[in-house]
Amino acid sequence: MTKAMMRAARLYQAGKPLLVEDVAVPEPAAGEVLVKVAACGLCGTDIHLAVDGDIPVSRSPVTLGHEVAGTIAALGEGVQGLSVGQRVALFPSAVCGQCRFCRSGRESLCEASEVYGMSRDGGLAEYITAPAFAVIPIPDELGFAEAAIITDGVSTPLHALRSRGRLKAGETVAVVGCGGLGGHAILLARMMGAGFVIGIDMQVEARSRATTLGADLVIDPVSHPDPGKVIRAQLGRGVDLALEFVGRAETVEMTLRCLDTGGRAVVVGVGPGQPKLPPLMRFVGREMSVIGSFGMDKRDIGDLMALVVRRRLDLSHSVTATYPLDGINDALGRLARKDDSVARLVVEPWR
């Protein structure tokens, strides 16, 4: 029997263009669903995988894409509570639902996780399979493109602010790196009641977008290599919470210098660097905290969808452009060039 075929954007080697080619439509295993992909967001991780090659994939070729939304096309054996035709988004990795972290609602730390586009074929394709546990229903009022970027581009900063940073209303917040993730962190911090929000980025357009999204102050770290001094001149002290979205040793160290006594630094950016702590007398004596924040949990995604539907959160300007699957390399090139005008880019495989 001839297998049904679909188109998918495949990574063979970092630094080389993705190849859009025909592959077999995957079949959902027991406990899985087959999803017809309506939208797949792109993010910096895709650049690390496909362009820079500093995050390895576990096999090649592999279909990239981990921010996925679409409709259920088929149910695997034993799947209950979901139906064919249902609009859904996917958690960015295939999580097991059984380990100690999944059972406690900390899916980002799943012990059996398979990340789409790294160890499992992702959503830059016409179809994708996913564990039923990793499926999040999409409200009818929410578009596929917005739902796709919520799964990572918006939920990651929410997780950093809420679950890891424990932001309280009235606190001061600094965001280092105001791209797609950092820009949404500013938007969310303002929504969550931050008293004063600072955006730090070397790109003019990123600083302008930070202001539009709610930053009270923006700082160019090229002109002001120690933004902490600027913050103290403005506020009389450092910030309560600082978030780092760049993933470089020097920007993590910069983030720490922005903190007030008792401040928390949440590091979201990933990279090969090894940042240094401040001198221990200062770090310990001022009770500073450095906290890692990896991804998101399912509740972050669901809560954000509800906020958008209730018009408490506006993501109407978050999708900068959409591309057909054949335009994937153009879209990745735009991200790799660090186009200042980009918030998020989305691929629609069926265009």
Q: In the numeric block, which tokens belong to residue 111?
A: 């012990």
Q: How many CA atoms lie within 13 A of 69 on its CB side?
A: 24
Q: Is residue 159 part of a domain?
A: no
Domain assignment of residue 160, yes or no: no
Task: State the pLDDT at residue 94.
Answer: 96
Same structural domain for residues 205 and 115? Answer: no
Q: Do 180 and 260 fall within a single domain?
A: yes
* Residues spanned by the domain of 214: 166-292
pLDDT per residue as tens digits for the range 75-89: 999 999 999 999 999
Q: Do 338 and 250 share a structural domain?
A: no
* Same domain as 311, residue 285: no
| pLDDT exceeds cutoff 90 at 47 | no
Please state the rounded mean pLDDT for residues 261-280. Answer: 93
Question: What digits encode the pLDDT tens for the residues 122-140?
Answer: 999 999 999 999 999 999 9
Q: How far apart are CA 167 and CA 188, in angstroms?
A: 10
Same domain, 86 and 19: yes
87 shares a domain with 21: yes
Regarding whether 11 and 143 lie in a shared domain, the answer is yes
Same domain, 149 and 14: yes
Nearest residue to 155 via CA among 309, 314, 42, 299: 299
We report the CATH number of the domain holding residue 204 as: 3.40.50.720
Give the count of domains, the chain. 2
Residue-level pLDDT at 322:
96
- Distance between CA atoms of residues 89 and 84, nearest Å: 14
Backbone angles phi, psi at 142, to 5 degrees: -105, 130
Q: Residue 230 domain-assigned?
A: yes
294-303 pLDDT, tens digit each = 999 999 999 9
Chain segment 272-293, per-residue pLDDT in tens: 889 999 999 999 999 999 999 9
Examine the fold and report which residue of 292, 307, 325 is the final residue of a domain before the chain moves on: 292
pLDDT tier at 43 (50, 70, 90 boundaries)?
confident
Which of 264, 292, 320 marks a domain boundary?
292
The DSSP result for 101-136, as a single string, is HHHTT-GGG-TT-EEBTTTB--SSBSEEEEEGGGEE
Residue 212 has a pLDDT of: 94
> Which helix or strand (DSSP H or E) is residue 231 part of?
helix 227-235
Are 147 and 183 within one domain? no
